[in-house]
Amino acid sequence: MKIRTLAAGLLVGALTLTACGKEGTPSGGTGDTGTDAAALPTYTVAQNVDVAGSPTFAKIKGAGKLTIGVKDDQPGLGLKDPTTGKFQGFDIEIAKMVAAGLGFDESKITFTTVDSAAREAAITNGNVDYYVGTYTITDKRKTQVSFAGPYFMAGQDLLVRKDDTSITGPETLKGKKVCSVTGSTPIQRVRDQQLTEAGNIVEFQKYSQCVEKLITKEVDAVTTDDAILKGFAAQDPDNLKVVGKTFSQEPYGIGLPRDDAALRGKVDDLLQAAIDDGTWQKIYDATLGKSGSAATPPAIQRY
């Protein structure tokens, strides 16, 4: 038995290492967090778009295609289907909607996976034209990149095992093991506010590794934005639940090169239009909305 457990563990380990297999694959049957193609809105590709004074737009216009930075391991938000190689989720749809507004249909888009820690570099170096991937707008980040949006308002929350009634909010975390991604804002908040003891803080490279440890009871809670956690809970509703008491405001923005105020204004316009005509709500309902919780569109903050 031990040997078999070991073999299974090794396999899981190997798969985690190569970032394939279990990683982000919707577990069959229990819950479908994938994108419901039928319910998704279609986006009208704008013709003869011009964004005066935008170097980024001039570049993508010249190339005739655009590269968008996204995440590939967040169910319901930005997830790469390992069988088809297609990206799906709320962030992906927002990215497509903006691309259509700029005059590019889906076939002209290349999605590139960019890790959280590499986002500023990818945008600054021009590896991606814009970035849509649970990117919280902060003043400090605005010194390196600029943000359109927010296009979604998330908040820090806790993911726990379904049968765990001892954790009901941030104030009940004392003595519990809490997991999140290395150096992420949520885990820094847990540390700064001493929500649990320093020895009980666990940090891995990916949320899916934390969720794995949560299921095997080596940690008691996974913390990050509710949008991300809802995606995982919807994948495995028999074992996991989101506590549902957010304790921060995380406005998600679209990351753009810092010097490109013209493009930022244009993207803000496109987001506003999608919120006004109901496209935003349709996107939400077909992706994150399937977790069962409702959301209202955020107010665009122009600066």
Partner 1 sequence: MDVLLDNLDLYGPFFWTTIKLFLISGVASLIFGTFLAGLRVSPVPVFRAVGATYVTLIRNTPLTLVFVFLVFAYPLLDIVDLSYFTAAVVSLTLYTSAFICEVVRSGINTVPVGQAEAARALGLTFTQILGQIVLPQAIRSVVPPLMSMLIALLKNTTIAAGFSVAEAGAIRQYLSERGDNQLVGLLWVALGFIILVAVLSFIQRTLEKRWSVAR
C-beta of 117: minimal distance to partner 1 in Å? Answer: 4
Count residues near partner 1 (CB under 8 A): 38
Exactly one of 14, 215, 294, 299 binds partner 1 (CB under 8 A); that residue is 14
Q: CA-to-CA distance for 227 and 156, rounded, in angstroms?
A: 9
Write the interaction track for partner 1 spanning residues 205-224; mark x where CB under 8 A is met and - where it is not. Answer: x---x--x---x-x------
Q: Which two tokens stand for residue 241?
A: 């639940």
Exactly one of 182, 193, 194, 293 binds partner 1 (CB under 8 A); that residue is 182
Q: CA-to-CA distance for 79 and 71, rounded, in angstroms?
A: 7
- CA 204, 208, 211, 213 torsion: positive or negative? negative
Contact between 193 and partner 1 (CB under 8 A)? no
Binding segment for partner 1 among 14-22, 48-56, 222-230, 257-265 (CB under 8 A)? 14-22
Decide whether 46 or 215 has the Cβ nearer to partner 1.
Answer: 215
Sequence letter at residue 54:
S
C-beta of 45: minimal distance to partner 1 in Å? Answer: 34
Contact between 20 and partner 1 (CB under 8 A)? no
Cβ count near 159 (within 10 Å): 25
Binding segment for partner 1 among 53-61, 103-111, 137-145, 273-281 (CB under 8 A)? 137-145
Partnered with residue 118 across adjacent β-strands are: none
Instruction: Please report, for the chain, how many H helices and E strands are present, in that order.
Output: 9, 13
Contact between 225 and partner 1 (CB under 8 A)? no
Question: CA dist 45 to 62, 74, 227, 253, Å?
Answer: 17, 27, 28, 22
In terms of Cβ atoms closer than 10 Å to its own Cβ (0-12, 13-18, 19+), residue 268 is buried
Helix (H) or strand (E) run with residue 79 in it:
strand 78-80
Q: CA-to-CA distance for 271 and 288, rounded, in angstroms?
A: 17
Exactly one of 55, 175, 183, 237 binds partner 1 (CB under 8 A); that residue is 183
Q: CA-to-CA distance for 27 and 235, rounded, in angstroms?
A: 6
C-beta of 110: minimal distance to partner 1 in Å? Answer: 23
Helix (H) or strand (E) run with residue 256 in it:
strand 250-257
Contact between 181 and partner 1 (CB under 8 A)? yes
Contact between 52 and partner 1 (CB under 8 A)? no
Contact between 16 and partner 1 (CB under 8 A)? yes
C-beta of 213: minimal distance to partner 1 in Å? Answer: 8
- Residues near partner 1 (CB under 8 A) are 2, 5-6, 8-10, 12-14, 16-17, 116-121, 138-141, 143-144, 181-185, 188, 199, 202-205, 209, 212, 216, 218
